[in-house]
Structures are given as C-alpha cells and as structure tokens.
Amino acid sequence: MIPTLSGEPSEMAEPLARLGPTRIPHLIDRLPPTCGRVQADTLLAPFTWFRVGGAAEVLMRPSSVTDLADFLTALPPDVPVQVLGAASNMIVRDGGIHGVVLRLGRGFGEVRIERDGVVAGAACLDAAVAEHAAAAGLAGLEFLSGIPGTIGGAVAMNAGAYGSDVASCLDWAELVTRSGEQVRLPAAELALAYRHASLPPGAIVVRARFRAQPGDRATIAARMAEIRRNREATQPVRARTGGSTFRNPPGMRAWELIDAAGGRGLIRGGAACSDKHCNFLLNTGGATAADLEGLGEELRRRVHAASGVMLEWEIKRVGIPGGAAQLVAGNAA
Ligand SMILES: Cc1cc2nc3c(=O)[nH]c(=O)nc-3n(C[C@H](O)[C@H](O)[C@H](O)COP(=O)(O)OP(=O)(O)OC[C@H]3O[C@@H](n4cnc5c(N)ncnc54)[C@H](O)[C@@H]3O)c2cc1C
C-alpha cells in the first residue's frame, strides 16, 4: 500500500432540503448494502484543495473494486453519482452535491511495479506513484511528481506537465461503469486529449497501467527535484488552490491573457487571483465557492473584453450554487 487520499474529516452538515414539518426520507435510507463507509450530509470542503464547498447528500467510501461494482449495480439508476479524487482541480459549490459522492480510499491504493511499467490504484497520489517508479529505477513518470491529484483524477483529466502527460504513457485503465460493470479499456479508447479523457458517462477509474522504461536512478531523482524546484518558484503550491483555472486557448497562455486584462491580484470576497501565477485562484481564507467561481467569471469577462478570447474553465465546478455573492474589489480594478 502507498499513500492514498488521507484524512477522515467528518463534519456533519445541515441536511440538504429536508427541513420542514414532514421529514422527507433520506437517500441514505434507500442505498444498497456496502462494505464501505457511508455518511449522510457530510461537508466536502475539508476534502478539497480549495477547502470550500457544501455537503454531499451521501458520501460513500467503497472498500474495494468489487464493493464499488456491487454498490453501483444495485444503486437505482436515477441517483446521481459524483466521484472526487483529491479534488485538486475542482470547486464544490456551496449548496453541496445531491446524490452519492464517491471517494476512493485504501482499497484502491495498491501499486505494482513491473519490468516496464507501473500498475496503480485510482486512489494513489500521483506523486507517490512517481516516487515508487523512481525507487524501482523506472523513468518516464517523473512528471507525475508535481501533480497533487490521484491516479483516477490524472486519467480523467489527462494530467500533464513538463512536456509529458497521461496520454503519453497510459497503457490501459480499468473502470467500473455506472451500472456496475468492470471493464478494462486500452488508452486508445479513452480519446485522451488536452486535459480531457472520454470516459463512458458516470464511469469510475479504479486502476491504471503506465508504461515506463528502465533508467538511471540518479537521473530520475534529479529530474524530479528539478520539477519540484520549478513548481515552488512558479506556482502557489502551498496555497488553497485548484491548479490551472482555465485551459490554455490554442497557441496562447491563459495566464498571459489574464495578466494583460489586469486580472493579476484581483480579489472577490475571500478569493484572489494569484500574484505568483495568475491562472491560479486562491482561497485566501474564508472564501466561498461562490467567491471563487464569481472571480473566475469576472476574469473571463475581463479577458474577453480585452482580447476577444473567452476562456474555458479547466477546473470542474460541481454541485448546487448557494451563498451570497460578494463585492468585487480588485487592486487593479
Ligand atoms: C498546486 C496545483 C498544481 C497543479 N498542477 C497541475 C499540473 O501541472 N498538471 C495538471 O494536469 N494538473 C495540475 N493540477 C490540477 C490537478 O492536480 C489535476 O487535474 C489532477 O489530475 C486532478 O486529480 P484529482 O484526483 O485531484 O481529481 P479531482 O480534482 O478530484 O477531479 C477532477 C475530475 O476528475 C474526475 N475524477 C476524479 N477521480 C476519478 C476517478 N477515479 N474516476 C473517474 N473520474 C474521476 C472528477 O469527477 C472530476 O471530474 C494542479 C493542481 C494544483 C492544486
């Protein structure tokens, strides 16, 4: 086992929309049996990098692939399912998420080193997989060392950095579909593109195999150290952030467009556009999801007005809006 998603924050939230004289039965009462952990009305903010967001109607942590498959097979098809990885590329909105939110844990944390590759469970942290490959003298996965998400999220987002991405090394991914079927798909069937994979709707990545080549351990370690240094210098890596907010438009860089539009340092409530890397939004303390999303929308408006380019969100925004929007007060506004 290697480090996977950690932390067991379990704050109870106000029940979603069940206040009133008549108690509406809770979703948790009609879920199929599971060996995993199931909690009602659980705040998701502690599980996200931004540390914002409302509650999951039900948070479910399956114990194994089989447990997940059995659960999804028996789950009524009308119940929405949303999977979170490390939520390092996600804004969970303040109104929370209806349905079942899945979070994969220890049962999805195995790493197997092979002669020319690594098989990793979906809950493994990317950096841990890079470390395991490096320790085994396997080269080609160093880029994962700087990406703070999980393997499931890396496949779903075709994560990449420093000239490499999941598409360049993925052999296959094993999925559990929304109807509970377990399938292994070759990378070619996932149509991996810039920060995108075409997973079957509702499918959960549970395991993946990455190609790697035997290499010199010292060279691999030096490459990973260089990636770490570079990130520290250019990104707010210790902040409450969500990574790149917007996709780079073809032939352009989102941060340059934001900078040119005067977005650097802009603030809205507790949210700020990073001074260090202006395609990163920050929760400076006390931000709501509405602050972050509202600031993102303001940046899109400004960039569009200044350059004619409408930026596309890279960060996934999920759940129900809620909470009052706050005034925009920018240092450059
Ligand atoms: C400081 C910082 C630096 C970053 N640098 C980079 C970078 O260099 N390159 C880069 O590509 N990204 C970067 N990111 C963004 C982010 O880390 C990646 O997108 C990462 O792959 C997301 O993984 P996650 O587990 O956090 O996924 P989440 O953010 O939890 O989810 C992202 C999407 O993937 C889906 N998903 C998650 N797990 C699964 C699963 N098991 N099965 C199916 N779908 C799933 C979610 O439903 C969601 O749609 C950075 C983020 C931060 C905070």
Prediction pTM value? 0.92
293 is catalytic: no
Spacing, Cα 156 to ligand 1 middle (Å): 8
Segment 211-241, tens digit of pLDDT = 999 999 999 999 999 999 999 899 898 899 9
**AA letter at 96:** G
Say which of 88, 145, 244, 274 is annotated catalytic.
244
- All domains of the chain in start order, with CATH: 30-106 (3.30.43.10), 108-222 (3.30.465.10), 239-331 (3.90.78.10)
- Given a cut of 50, is residue 291 above it in pLDDT? yes
256 is catalytic: no
195 is catalytic: yes
Beta strand 138-139 pairing with 204-211:
unpaired
Of 36, 86, 39, nearest to 64 by C-alpha is 36
Residue nearest to atom 28 of ligand 1 (CA): 87
Q: Specify the pLDDT at position 323.
A: 54
C-beta of residue 112 within 8 angstroms of C-beta of residue 206: no
Segment 261-270, tens digit of pLDDT = 999 999 999 9
Q: Categorize the per-residue pLDDT at 10 as very low, low, confident or very high, splitting at 50, 70 and 90.
A: very low
Question: What average pLDDT does this structure show over 284-303?
Answer: 97
**AA letter at 164:** S
Spacing, Cα 318 to ligand 1 middle (Å): 13
C-beta of residue 195 within 8 angstroms of C-beta of residue 158: yes
Of 332, 319, 316, nearest to 153 by C-alpha is 316
Taking the C-alpha atoms of residue 244 and residue 220, their distance in angstroms, rounded to an integer, is 26
Residue nearest to atom 35 of ligand 1 (CA): 153
- The DSSP annotation for 71-118 comes to HHHHS-TTS-EEEESS-SSEEE-TT-EEEEEEE--GGG--EEEETTEE
- Given a cut of 70, is residue 12 above it in pLDDT? no
Spacing, Cα 84 to ligand 1 middle (Å): 9
**AA letter at 250:** P
User: Coil, strand, or helix at residue 5?
Assistant: coil
**AA letter at 90:** M
Taking the C-alpha atoms of residue 199 and residue 278, their distance in angstroms, rounded to an integer, is 30
Tokens of 175: 């999925």
Question: What average pLDDT does this structure show over 54-60?
Answer: 97
User: Coil, strand, or helix at residue 193?
Assistant: strand
Question: What average pLDDT does this structure show over 267-284?
Answer: 97
Helix 217-234 vs helix 126-135: crossing angle, to nearest 10: 150
Residue nearest to atom 1 of ligand 1 (CA): 237
Instruction: State the residue for tokens 């707010």.
Output: 236
